[in-house]
Structure 1
Amino acid sequence: MTNALVWLVATVITVPFIGWYLVYIVVVKWTKNKRRSVRLASDFSTLLFMLGVYFILKSMWTNMSIWVILAVFFLIAMFFTYMHYKVAEDIYIRKLARGIWRLNFLFFFILYFLLSGVGLVVNIMKFY
């Protein structure tokens, strides 16, 4: 039983799109609302994509540290906070936190697929 759980967690972290899809299926069955399901699945899988990017970078550069991922997260948060203040002229914490989290999802989602493609090409080129 523990081996199956470890396998599931490792698979979801390695391929976070599977985790996103599992959350989406559960939420859409529960709420019957596809739009809300996409948002909740994105919110719940942000951390999975962050971990996926970390492990891809860790496999490319062995001295990779988690601080790089955290620094990117906080840089995005600072940028979004600045833009939120310029647009709204006030800071609404709930909207700000949700926006930061979703912008980080979008960034790490794109970065995950870009790094996966680069890793694939680099590994193919090693054999030729």
Structure 2
Amino acid sequence: MSNLLAWFVATIVTIPLLGWYLIYITTVKVSKNKSKSIRLASDWTTILFMMAVYFIMTELWAKSFLWIILAVFFLIALLFTWIHWKLSGDIHVGKLFRGIWRFNFLLFLCIYVLLSGYGLISRILSS
């Protein structure tokens, strides 16, 4: 049983698009609301995309880039907080956190796609 669980977790971390799709399908079946399901799936899989980017970078360059990923995350949070404060004059923590989290989802989704493509091409050309 633990091997099955380890396999499932490894697959979801390695292929976060599969995790996003599974969460999306599940929430659409339960809530019948597609736009809410997209947002919910994106919110829940942000950490999967961050982990996948970390592991792809580690595999490609044999170095840990965790500090860069964390620095990017906190830099985005700092920038969003400053912009939010300048535009509204007050900080609404819930709205701010959702914006930061969803922007990080989009950013790490793009990085995941780019790194996956780069990794595939580099491995094909090096063979």
TM over 0.5: yes
Name the TM-score class by shorter chain.
Answer: over 0.9
Aligned length: 127
Q: Distance in 1 between matches of 2:105 and 2:57?
A: 17
Structure 1 segments of 4 or more deviating over 4 A?
none
What do the CA deviations read for 1:24-67 (whole angstroms, capped 9, x no partner)? 01111111000000000000000000000000000012221422
Match of 2:33 in 1: 33
Q: Distance in 2 between matches of 1:61 and 1:78?
A: 28
How far is the alpha carbon of 1:86 from its aligned partner?
2.0
1:87 and 2:87 aligned: yes
How far is the alpha carbon of 1:85 from its aligned partner?
1.6
Give TM-score scaled by structure 1 length: 0.95
How far is the alpha carbon of 1:124 from its aligned partner?
1.0
Long gaps (5+) in structure 2: none
User: SS in structure 2 opposite 1:63?
Assistant: coil
Letter matched to residue 23 of structure 1: I
Task: Please tell me whether the aligned partners of residues 57 and 63 of structure 2 are also in contact (alpha carbons under 8 angstroms).
Answer: no
Match of 1:115 in 2: 115
Match of 1:96 in 2: 96
Task: Please tell me whether the aligned partners of residues 16 and 49 of structure 2 are also in contact (alpha carbons under 8 angstroms).
Answer: yes
What do the CA deviations read for 1:67-89 (whole angstroms, capped 9, x no partner)? 22111110111111122122222
Give TM-score scaled by structure 2 length: 0.96
The alignment yields a C-alpha RMSD, in angstroms, of 0.9
Letter matched to residue 122 of structure 2: V
1:60 and 2:55 aligned: no
Letter matched to residue 5 of structure 1: L
1:6 and 2:6 aligned: yes
